[in-house]
Amino acid sequence: MNKILKIKKILIIAAIIAIILFILMLILFPPSRGRITNNNHAEVCEKTFLDINGTKLGMIIKGSKADNPVLLFMGGGPGIPEYWMEYEYPTGIDEYFTVCYLCYRGTALSYDPDLPLETITSEQMILDAAEVTDYLRERFDQDKIYLIGHSFGTTIALNLASEYPEKYEAYIAMGMSVDKIRSERKAYHYMLEQYKKEGNKKMISEMEQYYDLFSDESLEPDMSCEKMHSYFAKTRDKAMHENGVGTLHNMESVITGIFFPTLKMTDFTQKERLNIWKGKSFVSKAEISSGNFKAVDVTKQLDIPFYVLAGKYDMTTDYDLQKEYFKLVQADIKGFYTFENSAHSPLFEEPEKAKDILIKDVINKENDLADNF
């Protein structure tokens, strides 16, 4: 009898644990049909897939009115869809623009494990985005559209703005990538110094394992070497978010700030949410993720208005380097805007200020709200 009671007790405990785990799974990874949230009854609100240059590209398009100016959003990463940031930190820019959040080839909505890695290059992504630009221009009957790049997306968007000025009204750069190696070196030494001031022996020891990668300013480290991959995978993002210089100034961890929230985004199906992380891992093996981008090698002149949204605490793409490149670029109209309470994503950290800039300066091709140097 005691044996039977013991077995029943074990089964009850196991059932309770199973129920708790099931509830936790529903909370952290809720099922959904992946329909795009449309609480404001927007005229354009859809998930679209286009066959572009040998692959299927996914994108989300949202706009309160179909005749609003169109804004093509080239997100960061590559891997995490920019739409997730709008979902998690709503800005309301789709009230003034019809916004297209494009997922790069091989990532998120565009994930395809059979896509040859050799086709995942900057050059190909530029061509893809140019095709999507033409699709948007034709579909919404607009001769020119607006272009915004965030982080990695600025490496693609700057090329688009330089090569195809006839397609764009203006280019807005946010968290602008300028010189990958110089930026990473500055960030590394800053974070190491912060840990030394705090007396954080664990992180000092972890950071110093990679000291040789950034110690000699006369040498350019191999961004594709195994040790650099280890630094990025194990230490860099953790250190940036602990020091308030990462994705958001107040985001403390990639796991709690990005990973878990993306799994809960019900505008994507469960499969699409898993594909975010499958795609991020997939494209990390491609050449696109290891090169040393230098904005000056692309252009020092733009034939369209040029705007930069820069977070004061940004070291993912160094704030001072963004200002340095902005001053170098020749453009008839340009404006640089410092966000005092932001790091790498000022549109999502200080949305009201960013919307003011977009509505009053960018659309009107002015720079009245820009910083005075």
- Beta-carbon neighbour count of residue 314 at 10 Å? 29
Whether residue 223 has pLDDT greater than 90: no
pLDDT at 221 (0 to 100): 78
What is the rounded CA–CA span in Å between residue 37 and residue 292?
38
Instruction: Give the containing element (helix H, strand E) for 151.
Output: none
Q: What is the mean pLDDT of residues 308-336?
A: 98
What is the rounded CA–CA span in Å between residue 121 and residue 53?
13
pLDDT at 32 (0 to 100): 86
pLDDT at 288 (0 to 100): 77
Whether residue 190 has pLDDT greater than 90: yes
Residues 237, 246: contact at Cβ < 8 Å?
Answer: yes
**Looking at residue 108, what DSSP letter applies?**
G
Q: Please report, for residues 55, 162, 223, 246, the alpha-carbon distance to residue 273 in angstroms, rounded to integers and kept in the order given.
A: 19, 33, 29, 22
Task: Looking at the chain, list the stretches that DSSP marks H as alpha helix, in order from N- to C-terminal side.
Answer: 2-28, 82-88, 122-139, 152-163, 180-198, 201-208, 211-214, 226-231, 237-242, 254, 260-263, 270-283, 295-298, 319-328, 346-349, 351-356
Point out the least confidently predicted range of 3-12, 222-231, 353-362.
3-12
Q: What is the mean pLDDT of residues 211-216?
A: 89
Whether residue 154 has pLDDT greater than 90: yes
- Report, in angstroms and rounded to the nearest whole number, the Rg of the chain calculated over CA atoms: 22
Residue 30 pLDDT class (50, 70, 90 cuts): confident
What is the rounded CA–CA span in Å between residue 234 and residue 288?
20
pTM of the full structure: 0.93
Residues 137, 167: contact at Cβ < 8 Å?
Answer: yes
Residues 254, 236: contact at Cβ < 8 Å?
Answer: no
pLDDT at 51 (0 to 100): 97
pLDDT at 204 (0 to 100): 97
Averaged pLDDT of the chain: 93
Question: For 242-297, how does the pLDDT look when each residue is reduced to its tens digit (9 = 90+)?
Answer: 999 999 999 989 899 999 999 999 999 999 999 999 999 999 888 776 568 999 99
Whether residue 1 has pLDDT greater than 70: no
